[in-house]
Structure 1
Amino acid sequence: MYTLIVLLPLIGFLVAGLAGPTIGHKASEYATTGLLVLAAILSWIAFISFGFGNGETLHVNVLHWMQAGALDVSWALRIDRLTLVMLVVVNTVSSLVHIYSIGYMHHDESRSRFFAYLSLFTFAMLTLVTADNLVQMFFGWEGVGLASYLLIGFWYKKPSANAAAMKAFVVNRVGDFGFLLGIFGLFVVFGSVSFETIFAGARQLGESLAGEAAGNGEAVLHFAGYSLGAAGAMTAICLLLFMGAMGKSAQIGLHTWLPDAMEGPTPVSALIHAATMVTAGVFMLARMSPVFELSHSALTFVTFIGATTAFFAATIGLVQNDIKRVIAYSTCSQLGYMFVALGVGAYGAAVFHLFTHAFFKALLFLGAGSVIHAVSDEQDMRRMGGLRRHIPMTYWMMIVGTLALTGFPFTAGYYSKDAIIESAFVGENAFAMYGYIMTVIAALLTSFYSWRLIFMTFHGKPRASHEVMHHIHESPPVMLVPLYVLAAGALLAGIVFYPFFLGEGYESFWHTAIFTGPENHVLHEAHHVSALVAYSPTIAMVIGFVLAYIMYIRSPEKASQLAARNPGLYKFLLNKWYFDELYDFIFVQNAKRLGRFLWKTGDTKVIDGLGPNAISARVLDVTSRVVQMQTGYLYHYAFAMLIGVAALVTFMMFRGTI
């Protein structure tokens, strides 16, 4: 069954990709969607039948892949609770996105190719989450990178789509370079890329480090000119692994590709942000939690980056006007929450937020797609307004997604986000309190920009043209039904699954899927924080809602007045902290200057000038002079022959042959 779950999307990709032009668009849509729905059903069956306690890790061997010296890699599926959670998330959201896309993309002439790419994306993510070793995980890791490039640039005739796809591909290669070095480091230290071997070695190494002052034994890794002992080696390896996670999960510094990914079709945005790609980094750190527990310095850095990202992305979301970009920066911020949880050792809380976030973020993106579909592909919220009476079902679905995102009591986000904030408060690393403060502030900002989106889009006076307002219509059932399913998840996923993911008996639920040692202390303390700490996210949520209501419903002029009074800050946030401009100045322009120098000077003047061009020029010089000797007059040729005979006689006389 597990092998079938992984292979069904691959079969859909092959059917739509190879036979799509033959069988037609409709057959491609139904084939890929049907296979994904079947995979989702099987995933839920596997998740439930695995049991909710003491489920042993299963290893399903598929084939022997490669062997080179000490490197022996088999393609096998690692089935544990973490894998099953990801199978449910990936296949459920992906199947709903497939169904939604049947309606959203029905006018596109390349639908078969689109559905093939969607299925390829899903297959790559399933390969990643079921991997039994790091090489297999890296295969899936790069697979989602390739699929994201294809989907973001799906409308390849748009220059902006091509640029966004290339940007995502290049930025992720930066992070992937670190991830690859981390894999090399683990192989050097543990002699294997198998998770079982690495985790067993990590347990032994942890025991030995506990018995030493600071792990200052003999060098176990040589990196960047330094000889590192066991403790230093694990810190370096964990930071390299986290570098890969920063790229895939869009943490500050390697986040710049994520907003531009909105150039792809809206279903792509939902799939990338909710179930695949961006969650890969969070999953990888959770999977490698036994290794990260060996380096508290690395976990502290993870906490700092996550908290900073949560705040940074939320500030940018305050002023964005593109409906999809607001939700995109929300994703970036929510991923920061997950890394805060990972950094303080609350791995279960991070995965739980990943699980709940998939439902309400997919709901928000697909709801935004329904809005865009209704207003003739308009994405600027300043040209919307007053839509709630025209598309009431989409409106209420967006309300449900917003309530869950902002952490309204008893919604999915309320349970998972609050668990992270409380875990950060009781965390013990140096940036745990910083994480708590930043996540609470981000909760306020999240509430503000989320309700700002609702108020600007659905409330107030219509700001669209009369022609657009005349053609506004509710989405068809094929697009609304996935919203209903996701809304149910956004409302119920928290209250239903909280006892298993984070309740008193959560150790038996996770078993050995994640590291549960120190986390037990963190979650136990998190359950007993003061009332002020426990309610601080809810208080922040209410404040954000009130501010948004005042500025966009009660006194709509206040927002523009505030921006006019603070033009520098407004432009700073509107231009996304100028990260793109900074990278353009430091990297892009310098790379162009270097390329232009190597082209004009190195290639044209030096290589071509002294090489083939110089030789050809000399040949032309010689031949041009020789050509001048060919006059066509007989007496010139007779004179040349006479000179030749004289020269030959003279030569022979000097040689003494005459």
Structure 2
Amino acid sequence: MPLYLLPLFPLLGFALLICLPRLFPGKSGGLLGSATVLASFLVALVRFLGQTDVPAHETLWTWLPNMALNANLSVGFYLDQLSALMILIITGVGFLIHVYSLSYMSHDPKFTRFFAFLNFFVAMMLILVLADSYPLMFVGWEGVGTASYLLIGFWYAGRHADTTNPQLADDSNREGISNSNAARKAFIMNRIGDLGFMLGMFLIYKLYGTLSIPELAERAESTRVAVAGIELACLFLLVGAIGKSGQLPLTTWLPDAMAGPTPVSALIHAATMVTAGVYLVARSHFLYDLAPTASLWVAWIGGLTALYGALSALNQHDIKKILAYSTVSQLGYMFMAVGLHAYSAGVFHLLTHAFFKALLFLAAGAVIHALHDQQDVRQMGGMRKFMPFTHLVSLAGVLAISGIPIWSGFFSKDAILAAAYESSPFLYVIGLGVALLTAFYMGRWYFLVWRGEYRGNVAHPHDADLTMKVPLGILAALATFGGLLNIPSFIGGNHAFDTYLGRAIPLHTHEIAASTEWLLTGLAVAAGVIGLLWAASEHRRRSLADGPLGALSTNALYLDVLYDNAVSAPSRTLAGAFDSVDRGTDGVINGIARNAGAPGGLFTLWQSGFVRAYAVSMLLGTALMLGYWALKTIGSGA
């Protein structure tokens, strides 16, 4: 099966649903959107099963031939082990989220449009990971950015815009403004990252004379290029990765992106788009392997972002924002790994994170759905009595992200911590501390939502229906057993995932004694267990909210406040000043225009359209001319 079928199916779904929505009444639009992604998943599965060690490279047509680049740039798709893994994640998890959305979005008046946007996103994400060149990757990069903007701001008028209740309508209007602002914030902050990506592409072409990824992989080591140029190109690409993956300092857009429907959070901000930055660094490994300084920047930005996200998640109250800051933190882990050249560890955590974080977001969506859009965890509690199935799958997700054996996060997080221990003691300490904080805030999320007494005001909340339960159950199984794909050798495994991905990306080989690896594993598991016990204690005592750490966490370390005071407020002041000058200038210019036009206004009085007025005008004109002639004649005679 040709690779172009992968993005083609969801693109066709998008075109049909957005152009001919009336042909798909009821849930038929959602069924079509889901079917197109399922078709792409089947193609991805066939290509994965039939894959060889030789990458597949399929060219569709020549793009920009002999133009400014002075080289033929093709539209083509490139499939190796890395891109094969990514297309399975995108289409597999994407299909489950589409199915879940059939129920979750069933009462939304823009149901068909929602699935059109989801299809567009999946198509653009597939183009991004299959692209055989950086410019084509950038097309997918911008496409997922556009789709993200459309989906974050999907409820731009609020969820209850059509209600007859004035109070609900007013609240919905305020919510719509907030949602629109969140979409604009994500779009604008990502433009900074996009500028870095473009500068990186320009410099790579200047250095190597090509932007084809397969060609660059061949030329990188053999072509003599100044190290400083490679370092700068990699730093520019890092700026692009930071923007798309919500890393410091461009991280504040991602928590606000929770304004979109919960399936959007699960698909875009957990499993796919926000991992594009990690994919970019891993795909560009042939450059980062030659740029130690840029790689160190990647690792440290990842480590600091992991710590920032974990601290910000400690005392949040929105059920989705806790998970959003957790995503920021887990992405930091991935960046730390790829920055240390442990590409397989970073990509493996990308895979397991797609399972357990998509699961947690969809479980949160089921709770929100049951509580009629309530998202404050302080208004929940005891939900396990009403939603036993969702409670069990949520527990699996919490144990996975906390790194508890045998759940998937235990295996992927351990590999990152081992790489950090070998390369940088400081990053290892940060990573271990983040593991402790992760278990705490996710334990807090679990206890506030599922344990204790119910504190809400919705009578008889109900569990998810079958359409939502099936994706939750599949993701729970993957989150539980997905780590078995990469069992390390010191506990009797054969690193199957590392072996597979090593055919496309260089492997980071550990030089750590088995006894040391057991010690590191014990410390990581202890951090997870202690974090969960701390969360249980905090649930009884509630001391965090009253302390300075609680306030610091609730305000996400005041980073948004800092940006508002340092960037937004001065910008608004400057814009106000320009507006005042503009208004003043307009006043002067309008005054001159009015004075210049005043005489003309008098003459327009004569243009009445009445024949008698024109006759009087002609008579008076004739009389004035005769009078002037008579006075001139008399004057000449005198």
TM-score normalised by structure 1 residue count: 0.87
Q: Structure 1's 140 and 398: CA in aligned 2 closer, same or farther, altered over 3 A?
A: same
1:341 aligns with 2:340: no
Q: Which amino acid aligns with 2:187?
A: F
2:545 is aligned to 563
Matching of residues 231-250 of structure 1 within 5 Å: 231-250=227-246
1:392 maps onto 2:383 in alignment: no
358 and 504 in structure 1: CA distance in 2 versus 1, 3 angstrom threshold: closer
User: What is the identity, as a one-letter code, of the residue corresponding to 1:489?
Assistant: L
What is the match of residue 15 of structure 1?
Answer: 16
Match of 1:279 in 2: 275
Give the 3 Å change call, closer, same or farther, for CA 326–649 of structure 1 in structure 2.
Answer: farther
**Matched residue, 1:550:** 537
Q: Relative to structure 1, is the Cα distance of residues 619 and 539 closer, same or farther in structure 2, using a 3 angstrom cutoff?
A: same
1:488-527, aligned counterparts within 5 Å?
Answer: 488-498=477-487, 503=494, 509-511=500-502, 513-516=504-507, 519-520=508-509, 523-525=510-512
CA 8–610 in structure 1, closer or farther in 2 if over 3 Å, else same: same
Q: Separation in 2 of the partners of 1:634 and 1:306?
A: 87
Residue matched to 1:435: 427
- 1:367-421 alpha-carbon deviations (Å, 9 max, x no partner): 1111111112111110011111111000000000111111111211010011001
Go from structure 1 to structure 2 and tell me whether the alpha carbon gap of 1:271 and 1:644 turns closer, same or farther (over 3 Å shift).
farther
Match of 2:444 in 1: 452
| Deviation of 1:605 (Å) | 3.2
SS of equivalent to 2:516: coil
Show the 5 A alignment for 1:284-363.
284-363=280-359
Q: How far apart in 2 are the matches of 1:648 and 1:201?
A: 97
By how many angstroms is 1:340 displaced?
0.6
Which residue of structure 1 lines up, in the alignment, with residue 164 of structure 2?
none
Partner in structure 2 of residue 223 of structure 1: none
- Aligned pairs for 1:256-275 within 5 A: 256-275=252-271
- The structure-2 alpha-carbon separation of the partners of 1:262 and 1:280, relative to structure 1 and needing over 3 Å to count, comes to same
Aligned to 1:146: 146
Structure 1 residues 515 and 640 mapped into 2: Cα distance closer, same or farther (>3 Å)? Answer: farther
Q: Return the alpha-carbon distance in structure 2 between the equivalents of residues 24 and 408 of structure 1.
A: 46
1:535 to 508, 514, 522: 522
Distance 1:118 1:629 in 2: 64
Counterpart CA distance in 1 for 2:634 and 2:591 is 37
Q: For the residues of structure 1 that align with 2:484 and 2:294, how far apart are their CA atoms?
A: 32
Instruction: Give the aligned partner of residue 574 of structure 2.
Output: 594
Residue of structure 1 equivalent to 2:166? none
Secondary structure of the residue aligned to 2:385 is: coil
State the distance in 2 between where 1:71 and 1:277 align: 30
**Cα-to-partner distance string for 1:173-192 (whole Å, 9 max, x where unaligned):** 11111111111111111111
Cα pair distance change 1:640/1:71, threshold 3 Å:
farther
2:44 corresponds to which residue?
43
1:578 aligns with 2:574: no
Conserved in 2, the CA contact under 8 Å of 1:259 and 1:325? yes
CA contact (8 A) 2:241 2:278 kept: yes
The 10-residue stretch of structure 1 (3-12 or 525-534) with the greater mean CA deviation from structure 2:
525-534
Q: 1: CA distance between counterparts of 2:216 and 2:427?
A: 30
Partner of 2:59: 61
1:215-256 Cα deviation digits (max 9, x unpaired): xxxxxxxxxxxxxxx121111111110001001101021111
What corresponds to 1:617 in structure 2?
Answer: 594
**1:203 maps onto 2:203 in alignment:** no
Deviation for aligned residue 1:21: 1.9
Q: Which residue of structure 1 lines up, in the alignment, with residue 475 of structure 2?
A: 486
Q: 1:125 and 2:125 equivalent?
A: yes
Match of 2:454 among 462, 474, 480: 462
> How many Å separate the matches in 2 of 1:649 and 1:196?
99
- Shift of residue 29, structure 1, vs aligned partner: 1.2
Distance 1:477 1:652 in 2: 111
Distance 1:3 1:289 in 2: 25
Measure how far apart 1:50 and its partner are. 1.3
Amino acid at match of 2:134: L
* Backbone CA RMSD of aligned residues: 2.7
Matched, 1:167 2:146: no
Mapped pair 1:374 → 2:409: no
TM-superposition CA deviations, 1:142-200 (whole Å, max 9, x none): 00000000111111201111111111101111111111111111111111110122222
CA offsets per residue over residues 84-114 of structure 1, 9 Å max, x none?
A: 0101111111000000001111111111000
Matches of 1:648 and 1:526 in 2, distance apart? 122
User: Is the 8 Å Cα contact of residues 89 and 275 (structure 1) preserved in structure 2?
Assistant: yes
Paired amino acid for 2:477: A
Q: What's the CA shift for 1:590? A: 2.1
In structure 2, distance between residues paired with 1:514 and 1:72: 26
* Alignment-derived partner of residue 656 in structure 1: none
CA–CA separation in structure 2 for the residues paired with 1:649 and 1:594: 69
CA distance in structure 2 between the aligned counterparts of 1:455 and 1:505, rounded to whole angstroms = 36
The separation in 2 between residues aligned to 1:237 and 1:434, in whole angstroms, is 26
The question of 1:136 aligning with 2:142 is answered no
Residue identity matched to 1:307: G
Range moving further from structure 2, 628-637 or 21-30:
628-637
Return the letter of the residue paired with 1:543. I
Q: Which amino acid aligns with 2:596?
A: V
Contact 1:370 1:475 in 2 (8 A): yes
Decide whether the 8 Å contact of 2:94 with 2:122 is kept in 1. Answer: yes
Unpaired runs of 5+ in structure 2? Answer: 158-175, 608-612
Deviations along 1:579-617, whole A, 9 cap, x unmatched? 11111122222222222233331x3333x4565x35522
Contact 1:307 1:438 in 2 (8 A): yes
Read off the aligned partner of 1:61 and give its amino acid letter.
T
**Equivalent residue, structure 2, for 1:224:** none
Indicate the SS of the match to 1:62. Answer: strand
Cα pair 2:418 2:520 within 8 Å, conserved: yes
- Which of 605, 611, 625 is 2:584 aligned to? 605
Q: CA deviation at 1:652?
A: 11
* Offset at residue 562 of structure 1 (A): 4.2
Q: Give SS of 1:529's match.
A: helix
SS in 2 for 1:345: coil
- Give the TM-score, by structure 2 length: 0.90
Q: Which string of whole-angstrom CA distances, capped at 9 and with x for unpartnered residues, describes residues 537-573 of structure 1?
A: 1111011011111121xxx2x22x4433x2x432222
Cα contact 2:386–2:460 (8 A) shared by 1: no
> Alignment partner of 2:455: what SS?
coil
Partner of 1:177: 195
